[in-house]
Amino acid sequence: MGRIVYVNGEYLPEDQGKVSIFDRGFLFADGVYEVTAVVGGRLVDYDPHMERLDRSLCEIHLEWPCTKDELKIMHLEMVRRNKLQEGMVYMQITRGCADRDFRFPKECTPTLVAFTQTGVLIDNPNALTGVKIITVPDIRWTRRDIKSVMLLAPVLGKQAAHEAGAFEAWMVEDDVVTEGTSSNAYIVKDGKVITRGLSNRILAGCTRRALFRLAKEKGIGIEERLFKVDEAYGADEAFLTSASNFVLPITEIDGRRIGGGQPGPVTRKLREIFLEEATSGSSASAD
Ligand code: PLP
pLDDT of residue 107: 87
pLDDT tens-digit readout, 186-220: 999 999 999 999 999 999 999 999 999 999 999 99
pLDDT tens-digit readout, 246-283: 999 999 999 999 988 999 999 999 999 999 998 887 65
State which residues of the chain have pLDDT below 50. Answer: 284
Q: Which helix (H) or strand (E) holds 106?
A: none
What does pTM read for this prediction? 0.96
Cβ(56) – ligand 1 distance below 6 Å: no
- Pocket probe mutation, ligand 1, options 242, 244, 246, 271, max atoms within 8 Å of Cβ: 242
The answer for residues whose C-beta is within 8 angstroms of residue 178's C-beta and 6 or more apart is: 138, 144, 170, 171, 172, 185, 196, 201, 202
Judge whether 147 counts as a catalytic residue: yes
